């Protein structure tokens, strides 16, 4: 045949080729969907194949598909689309003409090489299939039809079951509809027909810019009884689809042109052992062969194959009857006319008393619930699962895009949709299915883990299945599982473990391969560098030789001898360089290793003893489990069930098992909606106020202690300097006296008298100098002073040592130096003597441990007060972090305390709290009826002294390794206020640890506050928000101040005076607070 192909390329994007679309319609291929209006690819999409004979429908169809595909590519241009369309049309035309054309490769400007597989060539010779011979064997008596048990839930059969429609409400228009006949073929040659009656474009409300309509899909083919309804999803099926593809073993190839409406498509299955087309399947359109016979895969030979139809947004007619709608070139019997020996009939799966069963599995979460269901459905394929898990799997097989992917699930019971379609995401589609399923005559399994365990929700589900054709059965799956279930569970566990091992092995192999490639590239680079160096040396040598020859020529012209010795010496290294050209031996590490098989894994003894497989995704979310497990019950006879089955254990055993399970869950499951009580809030507020006072006291004490220490050190230094000066003066006086004695001995007494008469000042002797040092004046130069009374002199001498002793007594001793100090004998932790607090030497680690002691102690008691259920004995160790955050509104990071686990963290404060070794819950060692918080200070001080003693003895394990983040977290008060330079000066806002410095001190040195900071004077403000606390009496003054940010408008602050200033105000919530 001769086919004329004309490629029409409109010059304007708004132009369309009516002739091209009409020609495609005549050829049997629907026009492709138009590209977005105004795009550059609209011109390319309009390119079509026109002209020629109608005998080449594949040419026009393939060209249209190629143009549309190229136009849809974001990198393709109009020229690319036209080139691809031209190549595809030429290939299809050649195939239609009987020529062999495997594929055509087109170089596209933007998209690169595009390979179009040519459709299988259709033989133009006479049909090889012969007419069916007369068969006298008995025929099947059952009517070939689609049973509801073999259809998806959105299929509505009409007109005696021959016309199939699909639901399109509440998002169902996005899902594929499937139906499988009740009769399969295992021998002979038989056919069935399908015709598209209606093509729908149902509207959809979607988000995220998805398309505004769903595309019609039709797949007709064959599948085994155990195979999937969805054709092409598994290797147990094969099909021809509306896109012109034949799919077998999950591999699709272009075989014919697209389907069109009102055309009859016949599928011929030839299972005869002899003949030219034995064990093949063929497609005919309106009685004409649409493609060559397709061979059956080996895995489908010898099995009974059932006709299956998969469609979407269509209304289709299926003909199994005795007479075909379109005659073939040869006589072929329909499936309804099949012999009993060649057919397999699946009966209608009706259970007891002519009723269908609707099962309600009742099983505890994460105890083999869905594993049991999978095993049950595998053994009983006539049951249909009704659950959200089934809906997710259905959407995946229908090709729906899921925003978070199909591996993500919030739980197995309620996985969450996340499709971007409102009707699907809000589960409107699931409610529609719950209304449709009870109207169908089929066996159902209503899988609702949480709802099936709660009596009220079970009864609500039962009300939907009050139809007389249903037998409502509750299946209780609790207790110790059966041996079959354990064997299947261990098989699944071994399979998961092997898959994980194989993945790790492949990852390791890939990493080693990357290392080898990197070494190989490095070796090649080094070799290339050496070659370049040798090439550079050769070039230099050639240049030197050329220069040498030029020098020789010049020397010869001048009659001089050439330097032959230098030439010989220079040639030696050049010859050696040329030898270094042999390739280096290949390193053993560079060789490709032989392919190795992944290691085989086995289950450990612990894994074999585990009755249930731990699911990767929990059956219920933490919220659903914690809020509902106390209401779990086993079904009773009066709830409306026709029958209650106990699979693994008896009714009494299941009830006892459930009771023990609930008791254990009360300990190990957290309460999501728990709120701290009022008594806890009052106690915690009092603790924060007391903690602030302690911290402030330590700041003040360190300041006073530092000042006294500096004063004592200055006095000691002055005494040392005075003693040194006195010693030097005595030495100088002694030297002077010695010199005078020597002079007096040489000159005599007369010389001394002469000098005195002449008015010269005589040199003082040693006796006079000593008297002068003692305070007495020389008789020759000073007038005598009146002697002080003897009583006053003695009184001064007594007061001096007393003053020194008093100054030494003002500086208290270091408590760490007193090993006999009794910590628990202290009455006031704020003053153990001379104003020194018990926590004077604490560091941030000790403050962190103090807070940890109180918080864990109060957490254990507050939980028991706020939770009224006696079965909840305490906070499980796995949920300490959750409740700590809920009560104290802050996070707890155990690594900041230098430990890895909560057991190690609690061991740091084991004198206050402990973990019960049996129940694993947090327990306090202290009573909740404490008069004050001093006990926590004493416990922390005792622990600190013991820790220091152990460190001094060489026990390095006793040292703490806290992070500096705790130093900031435990700082809750600002520093002391600065002394004012002048009375009435505004406060100086300076950054301080935990806030700004307090205001200046006033004229009476008692301090007054300013507008900045959380309080006045020496008082310490809490970490606070913008809160104005009401004035209230405070120690040495009033609770005052406004915790305000520096740039906010400040309220007026009248100066007030009090002992030690005012206690700072402000409350938690705004940064770290301002000032003290």
Q: How far apart are CA 396 and CA 418, in angstroms?
A: 12
Q: CA nearest 589: which of 538, 522, 660, 667? A: 522
Nearest CA among 133, 570, 146 for reference residue 346: 146
Beta bridge mates, 345: 183
Q: Is the predicted pLDDT of residue 607 greater than 60, yes or no?
A: yes
Q: Comparing 222 with 30, which gets the higher pLDDT?
A: 222
Rounded to 5 degrees, what are φ and ψ at 74? Answer: -70, -15
Q: What is the pTM of this model?
A: 0.64
Residue 319 pairs in a beta bridge with 193
Q: Which residue has the tokens 């054309």?
A: 101
Under a CB-based contact definition with an 8 Å cutoff, are residues 134 and 326 in contact? no
Buried b (16+ CB within 10 A) or exposed e, 512-531: eeeebeeeeeeeeeeeeeee
Supply 555's token pair.
Answer: 């020397």
- Residue 812 CA to residue 820 CA, distance in Å, equals 16
Report the SS3 class of residue 116: strand
pLDDT band at 225 (very low <50, low <70, confident <90, very high): confident
Residue of 161, 150, 73, 160 lying closest to 110 (CA atoms): 73
The pLDDT of residue 1052 is above 80: no
Of 596-610, 697-711, 720-734, the range with the lowest mean pLDDT is 697-711
Identify the pLDDT of residue 632: 92
**Euclidean distance between CA atoms 786 and 800, whole angstroms:** 23
* Minimum mean pLDDT range among 355-359, 564-568, 965-969: 564-568
Provide the β-strand partners of residue 878: none
Mean pLDDT for 132-149 is 87
pLDDT digit string, tens, across residues 248-307: 888 888 888 888 888 899 999 988 888 788 889 999 999 888 888 899 998 888 889 999
Half-sphere exposure of 558 (CA within 13 A, CB side): 8
pLDDT of residue 591: 66
Tracing tokens 């001094």 back to the chain, one arrives at 952
Is pLDDT at 747 greater than 60 in this prediction? no
Count the Cβ atoms, other than its own, within 10 Å of residue 957.
6
Q: Kindly state the percentage of the chain with pLDDT values over 70.
A: 66
Token output for 220: 């007709």
pLDDT exceeds 50 at position 802 = yes
Over residues 80-122, the pLDDT tens digits come to 444 444 444 444 444 444 433 333 333 333 333 333 344 444 4
DSSP secondary structure, 791-850, as one string: HHHHHHHHHHHHHHHHHHHHSPPPGGG-TT--GGG-S-TT-SSTT--TTTT--HHHHHHH
Mapping DSSP onto H, E and C, the string for 48-73 reads EEECCCCCCHHHHHHHHHHHHHHHHC
770 or 933: which leads in pLDDT: 933
976: DSSP letter: P
**Beta bridge pairs of residue 894:** none
Q: What is the mean pLDDT of residues 317-326?
A: 88
Over residues 875-896, the pLDDT tens digits come to 999 999 999 999 999 988 888 8
Among 76-85, 687-696, 977-986, where is mean pLDDT lowest?
977-986
The reported pLDDT for the residue numbered 32 is 43
More confident residue, 420 or 659: 659
pLDDT of 936 above 90: yes
pLDDT, position 253: 87
End-to-end alpha-carbon separation of the chain, Å? 100
Q: Is the pLDDT of residue 444 over 50?
A: yes
Which has the closest alpha carbon to 219: 398, 78, 477?
398
d(CA 756, CA 938): 80
In the prediction, which pLDDT does 1045 show? Answer: 47
Which region holds residue 173: left if phi is over 0, alpha if psi is between -120 and 50, else beta? alpha
What distance in Å separates the CA atoms of residue 135 and residue 626, rounded to the nearest whole number?
68
Structure tokens at 881: 């972090």
Strands 314-319 and 189-199: antiparallel
CB burial of residue 502 (10 Å; 0-12, 13-18, 19+): middle
**What pLDDT score does 817 carry?**
75
CA–CA dist 390, 872 (Å, integer): 36
Check residue 632 and report its DSSP letter: B
Query: What is the rounded distance in angstroms from the CA atom of residue 1050 to the CA atom of residue 1043?
Result: 10
| CB within 8 Å of 608: residues ≥ 6 apart | 490
Give the pLDDT band (50/70/90) at residue 667. Answer: confident
Rounded to an integer, the average pLDDT of 1010-1036 is: 39
In this structure, what token pair is assigned to residue 531? 């070659």
What pLDDT was estimated at residue 590? 59
Query: What pLDDT score does 971 carry?
Result: 61
Looking at residues 820-840, what average pLDDT do you find? 85
d(CA 849, CA 862): 20
Residue with tokens 């719950």: 434
Least confident of 36-40, 178-182, 723-727: 36-40
| Beta-ladder partners of 547 | none
Question: 1027 phi and psi, to 5 degrees?
Answer: -130, 140
The pLDDT confidence band at residue 605, using thresholds 50, 70 and 90, is confident
**Region 512-526 average pLDDT:** 90
The pLDDT, as a whole number, for residue 810 is 60
Distance CA 1054, CA 979 (A): 19
């Amino acid at each position: 045949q001769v086919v004329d192909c004309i490629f029409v390329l409109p010059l304007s994007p708004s132009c369309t080729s009516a002739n091209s679309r009409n020609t495609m319609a005549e050829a049997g291929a629907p026009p492709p969907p138009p590209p977005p209006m105004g795009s550059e690819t609209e011109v390319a999409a309009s390119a079509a194949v026109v002209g020629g004979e109608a005998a080449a429908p594949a040419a026009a169809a393939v060209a249209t598909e190629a143009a549309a595909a190229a136009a849809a590519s974001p990198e393709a241009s109009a020229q690319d689309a036209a080139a691809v369309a031209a190549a595809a049309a030429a290939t299809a035309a050649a195939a239609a003409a009987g020529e062999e054309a495997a594929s055509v490769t087109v170089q596209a400007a933007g998209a690169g090489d595009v390979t179009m597989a040519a459709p299988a060539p259709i033989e133009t010779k006479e049909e090889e299939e012969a007419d069916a011979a007369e068969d006298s064997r008995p025929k099947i008596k059952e009517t070939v039809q689609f049973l509801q048990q073999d259809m998806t839930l959105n299929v509505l059969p009409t007109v005696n079951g021959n016309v199939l429609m699909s639901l399109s409400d509440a998002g169902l228009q996005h899902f594929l509809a499937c139906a499988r006949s009740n009769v399969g073929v295992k021998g002979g040659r038989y056919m069935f027909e399908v015709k598209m009656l209606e093509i729908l474009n149902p509207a959809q409300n979607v988000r995220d810019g998805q398309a505004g309509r769903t595309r019609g899909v039709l797949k007709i083919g064959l599948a085994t009884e155990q195979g999937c309804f969805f054709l092409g999803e598994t290797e147990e099926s094969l099909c021809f689809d509306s896109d012109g593809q034949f799919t077998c073993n999950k591999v699709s190839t272009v075989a014919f042109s697209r389907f069109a409406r009102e055309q009859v498509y016949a599928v011929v299955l030839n299972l005869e052992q002899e003949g030219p087309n034995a064990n093949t399947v063929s497609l005919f359109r309106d009685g004409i062969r649409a493609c060559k016979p397709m061979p059956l895969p080996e895995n489908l030979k010898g099995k009974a194959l059932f006709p299956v139809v998969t469609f979407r947004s269509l209304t289709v007619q299926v003909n199994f009857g005795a007479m075909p709608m379109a005659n073939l070139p040869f006589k072929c019997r329909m499936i309804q006319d099949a012999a009993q020996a060649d057919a397999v009939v699946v009966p209608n799966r009706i259970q007891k008393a002519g009723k269908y069963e609707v099962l309600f599995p009742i099983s505890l979460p994460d105890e083999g619930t869905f594993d049991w269901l999978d095993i049950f459905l595998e053994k009983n394929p006539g049951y249909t699962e009704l659950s959200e898990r089934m809906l997710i799997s259905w959407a995946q097989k229908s090709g729906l895009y899921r925003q978070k992917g199909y591996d993500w699930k919030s739980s197995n019971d309620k996985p969450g949709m996340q499709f971007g379609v409102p009707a699907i995401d809000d589960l409107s589609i699931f409610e529609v299915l719950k209304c449709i399923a009870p109207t169908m005559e089929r066996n159902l399994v209503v899988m609702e883990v949480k709802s099936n365990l709660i009596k009220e929700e079970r009864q609500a589900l039962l009300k939907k299945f009050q139809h007389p054709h249903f037998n409502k059965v509750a299946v209780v799956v609790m207790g110790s599982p059966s041996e079959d279930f354990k064997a299947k569970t261990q098989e699944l566990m071994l399979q998961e473990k092997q898959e994980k091992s194989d993945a790790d092995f492949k990852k390791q192999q890939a990493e080693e391969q990357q290392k080898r490639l990197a070494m190989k590239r490095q070796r090649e680079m080094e070799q290339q560098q050496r070659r370049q160096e040798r090439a550079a040396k050769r070039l230099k040598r050639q240049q030197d030789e050329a220069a040498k020859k030029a020098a020789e020529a010049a020397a010869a012209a001048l009659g001089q001898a050439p330097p032959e010795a230098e030439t010989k010496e220079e040639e030696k290294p050049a010859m050696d360089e040329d030898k270094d050209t042999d390739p280096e031996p290949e390193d053993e590490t560079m060789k490709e290793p032989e392919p190795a098989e992944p290691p085989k894994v086995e289950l450990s003894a612990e894994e074999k003893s585990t009755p249930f497989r731990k699911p990767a995704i929990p059956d219920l979310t933490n919220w659903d489990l914690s809020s509902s497990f106390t209401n779990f019950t086993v079904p009773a006879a009066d709830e409306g069930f026709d029958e209650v089955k106990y699979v693994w254990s008896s009714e009494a055993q299941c009830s006892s098992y459930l009771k023990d399970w609930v008791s254990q869950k009360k300990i190990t499951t957290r309460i999501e909606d728990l709120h701290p009580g009022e008594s806890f809030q009052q106690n915690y507020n009092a603790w924060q106020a007391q903690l602030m006072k302690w911290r402030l006291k330590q700041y003040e004490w360190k300041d006073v202690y530092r000042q006294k220490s500096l004063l004592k050190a200055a006095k000691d230094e002055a005494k040392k300097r005075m003693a040194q000066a006195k010693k030097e003066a005595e030495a100088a006086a002694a030297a002077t006296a010695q010199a005078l004695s020597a002079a007096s001995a040489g000159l005599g007494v007369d010389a001394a008298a002469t000098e005195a008469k002449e008015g010269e000042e005589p040199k003082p002797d040693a006796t006079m100098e000593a008297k002068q040092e003692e305070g007495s004046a020389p008789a020759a130069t000073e007038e005598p002073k009146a002697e002080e009374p003897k009583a006053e002199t003695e009184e001064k001498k007594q007061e001096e040592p007393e003053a020194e002793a008093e100054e030494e007594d003002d500086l208290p001793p270091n408590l760490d130096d007193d090993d006999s100090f009794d910590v628990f004998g202290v009455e006031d932790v704020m003053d153990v003597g001379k104003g020194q607090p018990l926590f004077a030497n604490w560091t941030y680690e000790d403050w962190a441990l103090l807070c940890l002691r109180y918080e864990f102690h109060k957490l254990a008691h507050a939980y028991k007060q706020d939770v009224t259920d006696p079965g909840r004995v305490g906070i499980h160790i796995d949920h300490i972090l959750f409740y700590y955050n809920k009560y104290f509104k802050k996070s707890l990071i155990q690594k900041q305390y230098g430990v890895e686990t909560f057991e190690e963290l609690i061991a740091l404060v084991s004198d206050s709290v402990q973990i019960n070794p049996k129940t694993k819950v947090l327990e306090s060692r202290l009573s909740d009826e404490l008069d004050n918080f001093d006990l926590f200070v004493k416990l922390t001080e005792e622990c600190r002294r013991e820790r220091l003693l152990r460190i001094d003895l060489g026990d390095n394990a006793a040292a703490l390794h806290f992070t500096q983040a705790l130093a900031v977290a435990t700082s809750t008060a600002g520093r002391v206020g600065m002394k004012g330079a002048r009375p009435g000066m505004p406060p100086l806002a300076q950054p301080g640890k935990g806030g700004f410095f307090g205001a200046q001190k006033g004229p009476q040195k008692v301090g007054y506050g300013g507008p900045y900071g959380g309080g006045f004077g020496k008082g310490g403000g809490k970490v606070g928000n913008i809160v104005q606390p009401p004035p209230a009496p405070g120690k040495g003054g009033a609770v005052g101040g406004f915790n305000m940010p520096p740039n906010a408008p400040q309220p007026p602050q009248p100066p007030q005076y009090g002992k030690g200033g005012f206690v700072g105000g402000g409350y938690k919530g705004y940064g770290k607070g301002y000032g003290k």
